[in-house]
Structure 1
């Protein structure tokens, strides 16, 4: 018996569930990050690091920090989504249902976090004053893409 086979079936299943959510979260974060890099680079290399007091660095360092923080945020938010829709409102193995739930989750994240929370946070910790609400269409596109990737990839990863 290999090390991966220890534990009960439910313990192995929960490891697969958590892994599927983390993988889907990271891939969804990368998809969103590409959109952000191409359309809102200043958010990625300046605003996101500045939220944690890491602003004012050169663009290369800022971009690396921004990507690391962005993927970390996406992973934590993906774990919230995965937990909610695996336990509280189980969606089973239907990829379409997961994708629609992810799309709705991405829209909710954009509406609450990107449009209100992030600009308030950035304004509170930096000298800049982003508008509140900060309505950016490309941010909505990125959040929707993240949500669809997140939702669709969880059941796909679990199957394979």
Structure 2
């Protein structure tokens, strides 16, 4: 698999995972919270933030599991890849709990953004499982 194919695999998985995650947040009425993080009052900013972040996250996941030998072995199967993706989603959510409140302060926002946002945990778990499960499936398609 070439580097281009690996990148394309991560981009496709990240976009699909982000679309499902965003759909969940939208259905729960929580998508607007993401828009607030980038200074947008509408959902367009939230969707752009989510899609770009989802692609970057999937690229990071794909590259990360390839760099660590035991993870690369487990990530090559869709089922164990989805499990690793769940762990990746939890890690991303925990990181967001630490980063988001500081980000909001740096941007000078004072909206009532709760640092522990449970709907985003649900969205990130689904996103992680989709990315983790799709990456090995797409890799075999490109090979």
Could you say whether these structures have the same fold, taking a TM-score greater than 0.5 normalized by the shorter chain as the test? Answer: yes
What are the superposed Cα offsets for residues 5-44 of structure 1, whole Å, 9 maximum, x if unpaired? xxxxxxx532222111111011111111111212213313
Partner of 1:71 in structure 2? Answer: 51
Question: Structure 1 33/131 Cα, relative in aligned 2: closer, same or farther at 3 Å?
Answer: closer
Runs of 4+ off more than 6 Å = none
1:14 and 2:3 are equivalent in the alignment = yes
Query: What is the TM-score of this pair, normalised by structure 1?
Result: 0.76
Q: Tell me the distance in 2 between the aligned counterparts of 1:126 and 1:30.
A: 29
Unaligned runs of 5+ in 2: none
The size of the alignment, in residue pairs, is: 137
1:44 aligned to which of 2, 13, 34: 34
What SS is found at the alignment partner of 1:93?
coil
2:105 aligned to which of 123, 131, 134: 123
Partner of 1:150 in structure 2? Answer: 131
Unaligned runs of 5+ in 1: 1-11
- Contact 2:22–2:31 (CA under 8 A) maintained in structure 1: no
Q: Tell me the distance in 1 between the aligned counterparts of 2:111 and 2:34.
A: 16
Q: Tell me the distance in 2 between the aligned counterparts of 1:129 and 1:65.
A: 16
- Contact 1:110–1:143 (CA under 8 A) maintained in structure 2: yes
1:97 and 2:72 are equivalent in the alignment = no
Bigger Rg, structure 1 or 2:
1
Q: Tell me the distance in 2 between the aligned counterparts of 1:33 and 1:131.
A: 18
